[in-house]
Structure 1
Amino acid sequence: MSSQAHVIKTRLPEPPPSAEALLATVRAAVEELKAKEVVEIDVRGKTSVTDHLVIASGTSTRHVKSIADEVIKQTKQQLGVTPLGVEGEREAEWVLVDLGDVVVHIMLPRVREFYALERLWTVGDQPRDELAG
């Protein structure tokens, strides 16, 4: 079994698209393929790796892979962006598409529930519940 990493040629146009343009294109792609429970998280100030996470669920491994493929296709067609990396395509239980300022996670519901990325990245964001009075 080969442990060689899957290499993707990276290409960002000059100037690169804004995070908002990337988000809009990702939004359209996941909507197009009927992804479930789409969540966007602004992680600026929490990590230097990316500015935004988009987390979505697919109903099967085939659906997860198709959503990821659509994200890749639309960002390339609309913005000229080739992902910096794509992980998990073979198993397709959790596919990560790294678009630089936006990282997209498409997961099966059980995998999403297990890893709980939303909770991980939003801890401390919500103000504590106070008694209404």
Structure 2
Amino acid sequence: MTTQAQVIKTQLPNPPPPIEKLLEAVHGAVEELKAKDIVEIDVRGKSSVTDFMVVASGTSSRHVKSIADEVVRFAKKLDVQPLGVEGETEAEWVLVDLGDVVVHVMLPRVREFYALERLWTVGDQPPENAGVA
């Protein structure tokens, strides 16, 4: 006999994993497929869209797409369904939106052109000549 509490429990979705677990899964996925130049950017307080961005490079369009697919696969192991995946057709820049973490996998020339790391870290470092007389 099934109780009402058991029925309700089976209908509720699992709570999202802690952000540290999600970041760990993302890093595991990009490292598994040997992504290059992996950077994690904490954008809490700078963006209302997400808390962290992970930026990585692939060596070819096929590599970029494979890395993004692996990110999705690793996230699903944590019961995290991507909110969206964009750019898979051209695979020069694939964005995987996992809610608290957004992953950007890019070809090096595209990454250099858009310079996301500089965009999101401006003002984080003290000026180079601060305090020099």
Query: TM-score, normalization: structure 1?
Result: 0.87
Please report how far the alpha carbon of residue 104 of structure 1 lies from its aligned counterpart in structure 2 after TM superposition. 0.0
Give 1:68-87 correspondences, 5 Å limit.
68-77=68-77, 79-87=78-86
Q: Which amino acid aligns with 2:44?
A: R
Query: What residue is the counterpart of 1:34 in the other structure?
Result: 34
Please report how far the alpha carbon of residue 132 of structure 1 lies from its aligned counterpart in structure 2 after TM superposition. 6.7
Distance 1:68 1:125 in 2: 28
Please report how far the alpha carbon of residue 67 of structure 1 lies from its aligned counterpart in structure 2 after TM superposition. 0.1
SS class of match (2:54): strand
Distance 1:14 1:91 in 2: 34
Identity over aligned residues, as a percent?
75
Q: Which one has more relative contact order, counting CA pairs under 8 Å at least 6 apart?
A: 1
**Which consecutive residues of structure 1, in runs of 5 or more, have no partner in the other structure?**
1-12
Query: What residue is the counterpart of 1:60 in the other structure?
Result: 60
Query: What residue is the counterpart of 2:122 in the other structure?
Result: 123
Please report how far the alpha carbon of residue 17 of structure 1 lies from its aligned counterpart in structure 2 after TM superposition. 1.1
Larger radius of gyration: 2
Please report how far the alpha carbon of residue 19 of structure 1 lies from its aligned counterpart in structure 2 after TM superposition. 1.3
Large movers: runs of 4+ above 4 Å: none
Residues 59-109 of structure 1 show CA distances to partners (whole Å, capped at 9, x for unaligned) of 0000000000000011102x0111000000000000000000000000000
Please report how far the alpha carbon of residue 128 of structure 1 lies from its aligned counterpart in structure 2 after TM superposition. 1.2
SS class of match (1:30): helix
1:114 aligns with 2:113: yes
Please report how far the alpha carbon of residue 14 of structure 1 lies from its aligned counterpart in structure 2 after TM superposition. 2.4
Query: What residue is the counterpart of 1:90 in the other structure?
Result: 89
Q: How many residues are aligned here?
A: 120
Distance 1:32 1:131 in 2: 43
Please report how far the alpha carbon of residue 126 of structure 1 lies from its aligned counterpart in structure 2 after TM superposition. 0.3
SS class of match (1:37): strand
